[in-house]
Amino acid sequence: MHWVRDQIPKEFTKPSNADKRIKVAQPVVEMDGDEMTRIIWEFIKEKLILSNVDVELKYYDLGLPYRDQTDDQVTIDSALATKKYSVAVKCATITPDEARVEEFGLKKMWKSPNGTIRNILGGTVFREPIICKNIPRLVPGWTQPITIGRHAFGDQYRATDFVVTQPGKFKIIFSPADGSAGKEWEVYDFPAGGCGMGMYNTDESISGFAHSCFQYAIGKKWPLYMSTKNTILKAYDGRFKDIFQDIFEKNYKPQFDKLKIWYEHRLIDDMVAQVLKSSGAFVWACKNYDGDVQSDILAQGFGSLGLMTSVLVCPDGKTIEAEAAHGTVTRHYREHQKGRPTSTNPIASIFAWTKGLEHRGKLDGNPDLIKFSQTLERVCVETVESGTMTKDLAGCIHGLSKALFESVLQKHEQERERERERAGEREREREREAELLSIFWQNTKREKKRED
C-alpha cells in the first residue's frame, strides 16, 4: 500500500484547521475490521477522511478478537446503530472457519458479520465496478458499469440440507400457526442414499428487495432487470416475479416512465447472455445465490475484485452500509507481519468511505460533503489512470510474472526515489531562498536603523 502515501494529492493531506474541515451534522457508524484491510482502513481514515471532514464517528470494533470477546454482541450493536443513524461504513472482516477458530482461540465459530448485519437491516447488497480506462476488461464491450443487486436473505443461505444413507421418502410439511389443517408434499422417494434440501423466503423480504432495487434504479436513472428461473421453479421463483411486477405497477411505473427507463423480468440464462452482449448502464436484480456468483463474475470481467464497491441499501431507501467487496487480504497481512513490503489495493476501502459520506451528505443536504466524496473517488481513478497503481492492477495491465513484476516494481521505486530526491532538493532550495530573504530583510532593517 506504500504508493498511496506518496501519491495522495496535497489538497487532501495538507494540515487543516478544524474550522476549515467540512462540517457534518449527523454521525456516521464506523465498523472496523481485520488484518491488512484494518491497517489500510486506519490510514485512509486519518490521512484522507478526518483531515478533511469533521464528522462524529460511532466506532464499533468488528475485528475478530473483539467479536469473540463480546460474544458477537458488538456486531449486533453496530447494526442497531446503523438503523439509528442511517449511514455506516465497514472495513472487511474475517468470517471464521475451523482454522481461524484454532488460530484465534475462539469460543465458537461465529457467523459472518455481514450476514448478521443484513439479517438485522434487511435490504439489498448493490455491487458496482470502479472503471479505470487503463485497466483492461475481460469483456471489452462493458464500457459502462453494471450494478448487481443481490437479495441477501434466505434461499440456499438459510436452507436446511442433509445427507441420507438409506432408501426412504423425503417429505416437506407445512403446519399453519393457527392450528388449521396443514399441507404435505412428497419431494422424492430415495431408492438408496443421496442428499436433500429445504429452503425458503418471505413475502416481506422479497418486497423489501423489490423496493430497494426500484429505488436504486431510479437514483441511477438506469433500467432494472430482474432474473429468475420461474419456468422451472414455478411457485418459488414465480413468487419473486409476481411480487416485483405488482410493486412496480403500483409504486414505480410513473417514475420509470418519466425517466424513460424500464423494468423487465428475464430468465437467468437469457439474462446472462444479454449481460455479455450489453455495454452496461443498468441494474441487475438477482436472487441470493445468483447475486453471489454473478457479482464476482462481473468484478473479474471489469478487471479486478479490488475495483468493486458494495453498498447495502435498506428498503426505506434511507439506511445504507458501505464496504469493500473484497476480503481482509490475509496473504499481504502475513507479509506485513514479517516486515516485508506489500502492495495492497486500497481503492475499494476508500470508496466504502466515500459512498457512505456521499449518502450522509444527501441525507443532510450537505453539498460540500457530496463534492468531497465525488472528488476523492475521481482522484483515485485518475491516479490509477496516470500509471500509479498497486501490484494487482499492474498485473491486470501487463500480465506480469512475479519475477518480472519485481523488476518493474524496483524500477518504479527507483523512479519514485529520484522524484523524492528532486522534491527534497526543491524544498531545500526554497528554504535557502527563504533564509537569504530573511538575511536581506535583517540587513535592510539594520541599515535603516543606522540611517535613523
Indicate the annotated binding residues: 93-95, 100, 112-118, 127, 150, 269, 277, 292, 327-332, 345
Phi, psi of 184 (to 5 degrees): -135, 135
Amino acid identity at 245? Q
Which cell is 105 given?
A: 482461540
Question: In angstroms, what CA-CA distances link 407 with 74, 132, 400, 401, 420?
Answer: 45, 24, 10, 10, 20
Whether the Cβ atoms of residue 265 and residue 258 lie closer than 8 Å to each other: no
**Could you tell me which residues are annotated as the binding site for NADP(+)?**
93-95, 100, 277, 327-332, 345
**Could you tell me which residues are annotated as the binding site for D-threo-isocitrate?**
95, 112-118, 127, 150
For the chain, the three-class secondary structure string (H helix, E strand, C coil) is: CHHHHHHCCHHHHCCCCHHHCEECCCCEEEEECCHHHHHHHHHHHHHHHCCCEECCEEEEECCHHHHHHCCCHHHHHHHHHHHHHCEEEECCCCCCCHHHHHHHCCCCCCCCHHHHHHHHHCCEEEEEECCCCCCCCCCCCCCCCEEEEEECCCHHHHCEEEEECCCEEEEEEECCCCCCCCEEEEEEEECCCEEEEECCCCHHHHHHHHHHHHHHHHHHCCCEEEEECCCCCCCHHHHHHHHHHHHHHHHHHHHHHHHCCCEEEEEHHHHHHHHHHCCCCEEEEECHHHHHHHHHHHHHHHCCHHHEEEEEECCCCCCEEEEECCCCCHHHHHHHHCCCCCCCCCHHHHHHHHHHHHHHHHHHCCHHHHHHHHHHHHHHHHHHHCCCCCHHHHHHHHCCCHHHHHHHHHHHHHHHHHHHHHHHHHHHHHHHHHHHHHHHHHHHHHHHHHHC
Phi, psi of 266 (to 5 degrees): -140, 155
Whether the Cβ atoms of residue 125 and residue 291 lie closer than 8 Å to each other: yes
Q: Is 66 exposed, middle or buried (0-12, 13-18, 19+ CB in 10 A)?
A: middle
**Could you tell me which residues are annotated as the binding site for Mn(2+)?**
269, 292
